[in-house]
């Protein structure tokens, strides 16, 4: 998951009004007991996965580990989906909806700095180089929680209605250069078909959210991401004689500053938050040579389609206008290589699931959250079927939020005790949705 700093995750208090919905007739105490019983196994699975992480599209051993578990449960299993994905189906044998549950599997090229007995010392290959690998975003917990929910639901097969599709997804963090992967490819390969999925649920552990709490939001909960490249071409000259050049560096500097005015002066920021960031700029190789060309790459983050469409129109307009004014030429490649839609929680489904969240976590632990400008490719599933994506707390209660590590860092840490709530949420949302379709 592409999050850089969950410490900016804003919150607002929310008092939940009970909604009319059809909960499953299964006693909540039974799910609590089953989650408590399976918790040691979930922790064991997580520790193994954390110790042996794999990079995107290379999750071969992770897939084998998952496959062994779901086959032992007696589920119908498909492997090799979107290269390494594993999909398992639980069929109750009775008519009803098909509920999909998703967990992502890949780690990140990060060297772990935590002193844990299950610390990762794994290496992987990225762009032809050996790099350290770490579950620096919690995908190990996601897999373990879904394995736990699969075991609980399989043990309750005679009480289910319809089917459950367990989707273990590779490459959420982005496929390697020259490859495709992740949710988008899984959708293209028909993961939401045969049987046709009615709804999909997913969750993400949060290192900056207290264990025992769950965060949700109607509508856009995570931003769309649209990487882009700008190529500015000028005329090379000696640095001592700039008047003989068409300087792509000064042109690029003006472009970078002007891009910020799209958000500050063209986006209605009280309604439509957006971000445009230049993350890399390259041009020239000597202090006394004005180069011929400069390349920049950046990212756009938006939380609704109107803002996203505006950014697509405004960036080329700004870039080409400034380049022309400086006698330079400019090319904009947007999107660059991949893009994710907005992670958008279906309003009706979110309404329907709110009582489930309250019943599972307790009203005081269910928090209506502001959106974040990180991105998630769970959004590709939500483009096809109604979906709900949640944040589950993984921060120890005795650690202040300002001291908790950010995602995607060597110090990233989440507590094992946070996974039990995730297992219960996946299980209860499945059961409640099934029984709501009478």
Q: Is the pLDDT of residue 2 over 80?
A: no
**DSSP state for residue 375 in the 8-state scheme:** B
Domain co-membership, 99 together with 147: yes
* Domain carrying residue 431: 6-223+342-436
Question: Do 155 and 274 share a domain, yes or no?
Answer: no
Domain end call among 333, 350, 378: 333
In the structure, what pLDDT confidence band is assigned to residue 21 with cuts at 50, 70 and 90?
low
Which parts of 311-407 are beta strand (E)?
329-333, 343-345, 366-368, 387-395
CATH number, position 239 = 3.30.70.360
Q: Do 266 and 399 share a domain, yes or no?
A: no
Residue 1 belongs to some domain of the structure: no
pLDDT value of residue 28: 79
Cβ neighbors of 28 (< 8 A, separation 6 or more) are 359, 360, 428
The CATH number given to whatever domain includes residue 184 is: 3.40.630.10
294 C-beta neighbours (distance < 10 Å), count: 24
Q: Which residues lie below 8 Å from residue 394, measured CB to CB, with a gap of 6+?
A: 138, 141, 205, 206, 207, 209, 211, 414, 415, 418, 419
Which one-letter DSSP state was computed for residue 384?
T
Is-catalytic flag, 348? no
Six-digit token string for 21: 């919905």
- 115 belongs to the catalytic site: no
Does 397 lie in the same domain as 302?
no
Q: 80-118: per-residue pLDDT in tens?
A: 999 999 999 999 999 999 999 999 999 999 999 999 999
* In the block, residue with structure tokens 């062994």: 68
Q: What is the pLDDT of residues 143-169, one digit of tens each?
A: 999 999 999 999 999 999 999 999 999
pTM here is: 0.91
Same domain, 431 and 402: yes
Q: Find, among 12, 190, 167, the residue nearest to 88 by Cα.
A: 167
Lookup: tokens for 425: 């949420």
Q: Are 368 and 217 in contact (CB under 8 A)?
A: yes
Which of the listed residues 274, 302, 333 is the one where a domain comes to its end? Answer: 333
Count of alpha carbons within 13 angstroms of residue 222, beta-carbon side = 27
Asked if 191 and 267 sit in the same domain, the reply is: no
Tell me the C-alpha distance between 319 and 313, whole Å. 11
Mean pLDDT computed over 48-63:
98
Distance CA 59, CA 186 (A): 15
Q: How many CB atoms lie within 10 A of CB 106?
A: 29
CA dihedral 230, 340, 175, 103 (to 10 degrees): 160
**Per annotation, catalytic residue among 106, 198, 247, 415:** 106
146 in Cβ contact with 75 (< 8 Å)? no
The better pLDDT of the pair 17, 426 is held by 426
pLDDT of residue 6: 38
- Do residues 232 and 212 share a domain? no
pLDDT digits (tens, 9 = 90+) for 262-302: 999 999 888 878 999 999 999 999 999 999 999 999 999 99
d(CA 70, CA 250): 58
165 and 114 assigned to the same domain: yes
**Domains in the chain: how many in total?**
2
Catalytic residue among 172, 173, 198, 226: 172
* 57 belongs to a structural domain: yes
CA angle 304, 308, 313 (to 5 degrees): 150
Residue 194: what pLDDT?
95
What are 237-257's pLDDT values in tens digits? 999 999 999 999 999 999 999
* Residue that finishes a domain, picked among 280, 312, 333: 333
For the residues 2-31, what does the mean pLDDT come to? 55
| Residue 29: other Cβ atoms inside 10 A | 8
Same domain membership, residue 135 and residue 17: yes
Given this model, what pLDDT does residue 18 score? Answer: 44
Beta bridge partners of 294: 232
pLDDT band (50, 70, 90) for residue 22: low
């Amino acid at each position: 998951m592409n999050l850089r700093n969950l410490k900016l995750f804003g919150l607002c208090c929310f008092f939940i009004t009970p909604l009319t919905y059809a909960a499953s007739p299964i006693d909540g105490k039974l799910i609590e007991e089953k989650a408590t019983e399976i918790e040691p196994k979930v922790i064991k699975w997580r520790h193994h996965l954390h110790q042996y992480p794999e990079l995107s599209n290379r999750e071969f051993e992770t897939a084998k580990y998952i496959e062994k578990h779901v086959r032992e449960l007696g589920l119908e299993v498909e492997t090799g989906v979107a290269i390494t994905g594993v999909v398992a189906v639980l069929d109750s044998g009775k008519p009803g909806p098909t509920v999909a549950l998703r967990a992502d599997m890949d780690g990140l090229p990060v060297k772990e700095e935590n002193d844990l007995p299950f610390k990762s010392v794994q290496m992987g290959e990225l762009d032809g180089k050996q790099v350290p690998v770490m579950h620096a975003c919690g995908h190990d917990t996601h897999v373990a929680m879904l394995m736990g929910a699969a075991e609980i639901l399989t043990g309750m097969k005679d009480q289910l209605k319809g089917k459950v599709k367990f989707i273990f997804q590779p490459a959420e963090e982005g496929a390697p250069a020259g490859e495709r992967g992740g949710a988008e490819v899984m959708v293209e390969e028909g993961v939401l078909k045969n049987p046709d999925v009615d709804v999909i649920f997913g969750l993400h552990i949060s290192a900056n959210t207290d264990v025992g709490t769950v965060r949700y939001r109607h509508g856009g909960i995570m931003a769309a991401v649209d990487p882009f490249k700008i190529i500015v071409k000028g005329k090379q000259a000696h640095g001592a004689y700039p008047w003989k050049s068409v300087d792509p560096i000064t042109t690029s500097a003006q472009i970078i500053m002007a891009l910020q005015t799209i958000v500050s002066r063209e986006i209605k920021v009280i309604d439509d938050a957006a971000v445009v960031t230049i993350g890399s700029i390259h041009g020239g190789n000597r202090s006394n040579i004005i180069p011929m060309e400069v390349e920049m790459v950046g990212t756009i983050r938006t939380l609704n389609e109107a803002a996203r469409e505006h950014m697509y129109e405004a960036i080329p307009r700004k870039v080409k206008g400034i380049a022309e004014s400086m006698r330079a030429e400019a090319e904009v490649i947007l999107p660059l290589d991949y893009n994710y839609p907005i992670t958008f929680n279906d309003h009706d489904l979110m309404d329907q699931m709110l009582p489930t969240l309250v019943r599972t976590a307790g009203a005081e632990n269910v928090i209506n959250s502001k959106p974040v400008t990180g991105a998630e490719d769970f959004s590709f599933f939500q483009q096809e079927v109604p979906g709900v994506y949640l944040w589950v707390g993984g921060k120890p209660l005795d650690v202040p939020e300002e001291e908790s590590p950010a995602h995607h860092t060597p110090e990233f840490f989440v507590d094992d005790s946070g996974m039990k709530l995730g297992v219960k949420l996946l299980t209860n949302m499945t059961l409640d949705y099934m029984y709501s379709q009478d």
